[in-house]
Amino acid sequence: MTSQTIASVLIHVSDVAQALQWYQRAFPQAVACRLDEFDFDYLRIGTIDLEIVPADEKVASGAAGSIVYWQVEDFDQAVAHMLSIGGVLYRGPLNIQDGLRMCQIRDPWGNCIGLRG
């Protein structure tokens, strides 16, 4: 393996169109992108593709397994923003190393978004 850069994060939901809109509000810096040949819309945040995909019998939506943590400049502001658009505080906030804090917010489909700052 030559590269260790995260390329994309997949988020499984029951309503892709609604989730794309919600995540665009959650991450206002995200750029909406489309792959016409695959009829696929996604969001790009910096160099990472946030791919909202249908939940199915193999991967359901909800809190389980790995959580992606997003580095934020103003932790309290980021938490307040997520809560204001319908996110629900799931775990934390916790104080961690170097004076940082972290928490998990659940999206409307039960998936966890980690915030760290």
Q: What is the pLDDT of residues 91-117, one digit of tens each?
A: 999 999 999 999 999 999 999 999 999
Position 113 scores a pLDDT of: 95
Position 8 scores a pLDDT of: 94
CA distance 32 to 44: 7
Q: With a threshold of 0.85, does the pTM exceed it? A: yes
CA distance 8 to 31: 14
Position 88 scores a pLDDT of: 97
Position 66 scores a pLDDT of: 84
Q: Give the CA dihedral 40, 43, 48, 50, nearest 10 degrees.
A: -70
- Blockwise average pLDDT, block size 10, the chain, 117 residues: 82 96 96 97 96 92 87 96 97 96 97 96
Q: Please state the domain extents for the chain.
A: 8-116
Q: Which CATH class is domain 8-116?
A: alpha beta
